[in-house]
């Protein structure tokens, strides 16, 4: 039996509660479950939260550590929170139903967390699907390196965004007390950004650790909410409903987020314009959304100006883009 040292209780076995949110992934759910069963760290429970699936899915194994919970469809954030509330282990690990862990994932990251009790979370690098090159070089090139990290108010906004992006939900283990204190994942039917809502709060308030070892295979073939989507990204809840996040990060929000949002909001609005939903971007900057973020008038004016400038450049670029040739025989 594998045991680990803790600062407050000597040698003991530390429980990890694993949560898999599931919605219509019958073809891949057993791949995820098998990767949990293959872990070298044995002290885990697994809660599969069926978030109103309509396909005919089933788990091929019977194990007393595996529990299935059914609920009406409420989105991945709510499903993760449902699973996390089922048990009370010290750590919580999340795995999307179309992803899979390498066998030493839990053992490696639990060891990191047990070695430094000040850490809120520990994450690993990952492979994209069956690729042999992991994403570590991409993050390192943008200033996100292996090791312990804690927010410096002087940190560039781009570095902070990359730090949040590196906390992949399927590749991060979080302290339960931190997860609960921050309110867990965003639940209000968000189809994009419900996970970064939590990881932004974590990165704002507590130290985190990133391992450069790739211990997850992140599959995009079955993904529908993020990579691989064919529809425009909606605006994330950090922009549309920031109140809970602000309340959970009092002090650090005021000290850092205005600078970060001055970078982040135009980035997201620019993408919305580029994806053809400029109306949402203009409605956002025309209303009281920027004020709700707690931004000063100067910053709000700057974001509005940058959004308008992006829209003008995008329109000009589209006008200059040569028209695609019509298929032979087509009527113009």
Residues sharing a CB contact under 8 Å with residue 29, sequence separation 6 or more, in sequence order: 20, 22, 48, 57, 59, 97
Tell me the average pLDDT across 64-82. 95
Structure-model confidence comparison of residues 12 and 318, the more confident one: 318
Q: Is 320 helix (H, G, I), strand (E, B) or coil?
A: helix
Cβ–Cβ contacts within 10 Å for residue 270, how many?
Answer: 19
Q: What are the respective helix, strand and coil percentages of the chain, to the nearest 5?
A: 40, 20, 40
Residue whose structure tokens are 């509660």? 17
CA separation for the pair 155, 140 (Å, rounded): 15
**Which residues pair with residue 127 across a beta bridge?**
134, 217
Structure-model confidence comparison of residues 308 and 18, the more confident one: 18
| Lookup: tokens for 24 | 């219509």
Q: Residue 312's pLDDT is what?
A: 85
Residues for the chain: how many in total? 332
Tell me the average pLDDT across 183-207. 92
Given a cut of 60, whether residue 12 has pLDDT beyond it is no
pLDDT tens digit sequence for 225-250: 444 556 788 899 999 999 999 999 98
Residues sharing a CB contact under 8 Å with residue 87, sequence separation 6 or more, in sequence order: 15, 17, 45, 47
**Which residue ranges form the domains of the chain, and what is each CATH number?**
4-218 (3.90.550.10), 237-320 (no CATH)
- Percent residues over pLDDT 90 in the chain: 66
| Lookup: tokens for 204 | 């704002």
Given a cut of 50, whether residue 58 has pLDDT beyond it is yes
Tell me the average pLDDT across 157-171. 96
Tell me the average pLDDT across 125-152. 89
Q: Residue 310's pLDDT is what?
A: 86
Shortest CA distance to 286 belongs to which of 271, 270, 308? 308
Shortest CA distance to 225 belongs to which of 170, 284, 164? 170
pTM (two decimals)? 0.88
**Which residues pair with residue 19 across a beta bridge?**
47, 94
Residues sharing a CB contact under 8 Å with residue 323, sequence separation 6 or more, in sequence order: none
């Amino acid at each position: 039996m594998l045991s680990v040292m803790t600062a407050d209780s000597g040698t003991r076995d530390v429980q990890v509660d694993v949560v898999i949110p599931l919605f219509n992934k019958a073809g891949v759910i057993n791949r995820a479950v098998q990767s949990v069963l293959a872990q070298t760290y044995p002290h885990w429970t697994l809660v599969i939260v069926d978030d109103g699936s309509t396909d005919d899915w089933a788990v091929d194994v019977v194990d007393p550590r595996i529990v299935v919970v059914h609920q009406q469809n409420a989105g991945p954030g709510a499903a993760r929170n449902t699973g996390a509330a089922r048990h009370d282990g010290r750590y919580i690990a999340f795995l999307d139903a179309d992803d899979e862990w390498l066998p030493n994932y839990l053992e490696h990251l639990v060891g990191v967390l047990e070695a430094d009790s000040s850490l809120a979370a520990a994450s690993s690098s990952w492979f994209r699907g069956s690729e042999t090159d992991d994403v570590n070089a991409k993050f390192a090139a943008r200033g996100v390196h292996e090791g312990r990290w804690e927010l410096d108010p002087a940190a560039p906004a781009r570095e902070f965004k990359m730090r949040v992006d590196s906390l992949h939900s399927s590749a991060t283990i979080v302290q339960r007390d931190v997860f609960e204190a921050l309110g867990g994942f965003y639940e209000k039917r968000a189809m994009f950004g419900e996970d970064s809502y939590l990881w932004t709060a974590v990165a704002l308030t507590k130290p985190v650790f990133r391992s450069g070892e790739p211990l997850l295979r992140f599959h995009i073939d079955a993904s529908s909410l993020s990579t691989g989507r064919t529809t425009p990204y909606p605006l994330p809840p950090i922009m549309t409903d920031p109140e809970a996040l602000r309340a959970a990060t009092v002090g650090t929000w005021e000290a850092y987020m205005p600078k970060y949002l001055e970078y982040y909001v135009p980035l997201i609005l620019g993408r919305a314009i580029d994806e053809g939903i400029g109306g949402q971007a203009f409605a956002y900057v025309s209303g009281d959304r920027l004020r709700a973020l707690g931004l000063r008038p100067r910053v709000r004016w700057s974001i509005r100006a940058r959004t308008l400038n992006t829209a003008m450049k995008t329109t000009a670029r589209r006008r200059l883009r040569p028209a695609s040739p019509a298929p032979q025989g087509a009527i113009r």
